[in-house]
Structure 1
Amino acid sequence: MRAVVLKDFGRPLEIEDVPDPILGTGEVIVDVAAAPVLSYADEVFSGARRYLLPTPVVPGCGAIGRVREVGPDATRLKPGDWVFCDPTVRSRDDALMPDIVLQGWSARGEGGQKLQGYHRDGPFAERVRVPTENAVPIGDIDPADAGLWCAVNTLLIAYGGLLAMELRAGENLLVSGATGNFGSAATLTALAMGARCVVAPGRNEAVLADLDRRFGRRVAPVVLTGDAARDGEAMRAAAPGAIDAVLDFLPPSVGASVARTAIMAVRPYGRAVLMGGVGMLGGEDLALPYPWIMRNLVTVRGQWMYPREAVAGMVGLVRAGLLSLSHFAVTEFALDDVNDAVAHAAANAGPFRLTVLKP
């Protein structure tokens, strides 16, 4: 089969003929119809992000495709089924603390690297081998819409945070980092789940205006000034009532004080979920006040990716018409043009923009 190969970090991606993946028990072979090219893929392939990804490797992170072969232990999947290839692969020998790898993308820890040694190659290829549980049915789709369905890859991460905080219909949510890829996806998903209002703070006034245009009165944009006291008051005032929960998607380039101001806008008994990159480049610690958390009974938790059942829930939101993928603008590239696709994804990063590779 034809595949994209990263020979080494810092080198252009190459197209090669590589052996077809070999099916094993507990696995599925999928014909890849479309695979998202993440906006920061250039930073991964250049080595700037220092991801644990052994080379040479067929990269990629998630895909939409059709089942080609199933293993002997598959009871529901069959050839021809449309599936989302979930890149979040979990080890099967520790249900309490499974090791996790993003297939074709990254690993963490010794266990993750061991798992990556087997589930290594990703979906920038004509075919990909994934664990059976990672080939999640999405129902029949028009093949022309496969690229659009790649939006699920981004939406699921936002959905994971909303599930972690147990967002309820009618609640007011604050999305810290609402003008970014994941923050805007969180806004869309929260509204689909029935949020009364999403408070959307940010500095990019054009993106805030676009969120207002798309979602109307159910989104409350707040232009940040950099003054913590003033910004905190503005966020609380923007909501039609107390802010029940905060979801943080701020990137590593943003200081901890910005995240802290947003989190502390939550009401007593409220919840905050951290999914961003604050502190990953060094700098000030988040430093939430102990007395404030304790006396206000605030719950703060971290969340990375999403639980397995989230994929079925996300597909349900789309199929029910509660969440429209039409918000995403998709630009598609052929396999031979993968380096152009990576450059395009970097240059066109932003809310509701999607770059897709179509093997």
Structure 2
Amino acid sequence: MSTIPPKHRALILNSTRDPLDISVVEQTSPQAGPGSAVIRVLSAAVLSYAGEVYSGHKQPYQYPTPFIPGSSAIGRIAAVGPDATLLKLGQLVFFDSYIVGRDDPTSLILHGLTSGPTVGSRVMMEGEWRDSTYAEYAKVPLENCFPLDEARLLGDLRYKIEDLIYIGALSVPFGGLRDIGVKVGEKVIVAPATGAFGGAAVIAALAMGARVVAMGRNAEALERVKAVNPDRISVVLNTGDVTADTKELTKDGPADGFLDISPREAVTSTHLQSCILALRREGRASLMGGQLDLVPMPIRTIMRYDLTVKGKWMYTKDDMRVLISLVETGYLKLSEAGGIQTARTFPLEDFAAAFNAAAEKRKGFGVEAVIAP
């Protein structure tokens, strides 16, 4: 039996312009069909650059208008399609906003944010998965709903709903770390480690049993990273001197792995060279950065030392299941127990305040703001 009312409140982005052409409206509630579920949205993440994207200032982000924007969310199952075999009404789930085409794995979208470059991606974004989670109810793919152990997470571990949103930020670097096979006891460099995704990478690598070398340009911010786990985190300041930085990164031996999670502005940074040069023979590097231009690479070293350098965008469904298991077992700690700030919660009508709050803080551990319809 469905628990969905005939009408629900949703945040509609009417057009791309500044100031934001966006408003809360009441409209017909979504309904589940084959291959889909409808979730009652409890808490949806707000990215630090959400306001820039939805005003058209941050490019390239492609999405149809009008549509309901959004992101990954925590929700309860309100309805399921006839082919659902696992999900039950009322069940607490994590909705993963990274949607992959069922008949074409090259068609990829970030639900509520952007479509990919292919025709298939645009078909998904403009059609079946057009509307996202900044609403009371959202229709989503069945395979993107991951059941959560509510008794364990909200009971035994005493997390709040908004704490669980951080799973979304963790999933991105976790996918890159698993892609290069990070093992317990290995030394892993994360650079830059002081941003939102870099901080999440540090937390994820610790949960996987690694020793972490956190690299960045801000000494004060690096010390905050180290304070999360001084016994297993060391820090290296990125000075721009490749030789000196490589020496510092390897002072206790070469690294087994390296995760790059640079913003697009880091195209002139020298850390890619120094971190790759700091890898041991047959070491592995995962490149997840957003640099838009060409960057220099130490090709001769990569060749001579049999290094593996892999590009990785996002993560797999199995990565998400393993990550949630780490959270549920307590190996990966959220909230203050893991040194992660708790997000501020905003109602749907205060979307502008939520976007502003998220934009104010782009560094460190945690999600700054969530929308709770």
Say yes or no: TM over 0.5: yes
Tell me, in whole angstroms, the C-alpha distance in 2 between the residues paired with 1:292 and 1:203. 24
Tell me: CA distance 1:212–1:256, structure 2 relative to 1, closer, same or farther (3 Å).
Answer: closer
| 2:29 corresponds to which of 13, 20, 23 | 20
Matched, 1:120 2:135: no
1:189 aligns with 2:199: no
Query: CA distance change for structure 1 residues 241 and 257 in 2, over 3 Å: closer, same or farther?
Result: closer
1:1-359 residue pairs with structure 2 within 5 A?
Answer: 1-10=8-17, 11-12=19-20, 13-50=22-59, 51-94=61-104, 97-109=105-117, 110-117=119-126, 118-140=128-150, 141-142=153-154, 145-195=160-210, 197-237=211-251, 240-254=252-266, 255-278=268-291, 280=292, 282=293, 285-326=294-335, 327-329=339-341, 330-354=343-367, 355-359=369-373
Deviation for aligned residue 1:304: 0.5
Deviation at 1:220, TM superposition (A): 0.7
Distance 2:154 2:304 in 1: 53
Q: Structure 1 unaligned segments of length 5 or more: list them.
A: none
In the superposition, the TM-score normalised over structure 2's length comes to 0.91
Structure 2: tracts of 5 or more residues without a match: 1-7
Shift in Å, 1:202? 0.8
Work out the percentage of aligned pairs sharing the same amino acid: 36
Residue-by-residue CA offset, 1:128-152 (whole Å, 9 max, x unaligned): 1111101110121549811110000
> What CA deviation, in whole Å up to 9, does each residue of 1:285-340 have, x standing for no partner?
22323322221100001111100112211111111111111132211111110111
Give CA-to-partner distance per residue, 1:243-297, whole Å, 9 cap, x none: 001000111111153322222221110000000112x1x4xx2232332222110
- Counting matched residue pairs gives 350
Compute the RMSD of aligned alpha carbons.
1.5
Secondary structure at 1:349 match in 2: coil
The residue type equivalent to 1:6 in the other structure is L
Cα distance in 2 between the residues matched to 1:293 and 1:242: 14
Structure 2 counterpart of 1:113, which letter? R
Distance 1:267 1:88 in 2: 33
* Cα drift, residue 228 of structure 1: 1.7
- Which segments of structure 1 move beyond 3 Å, counting only runs of 4 or more? 141-144
Counterpart-to-counterpart distance in 1, 2:298 and 2:72: 38
Alpha-carbon distance between aligned partners in 2 of 1:18 and 1:236, rounded to the nearest angstrom: 58
> Deviation at 1:74?
0.8
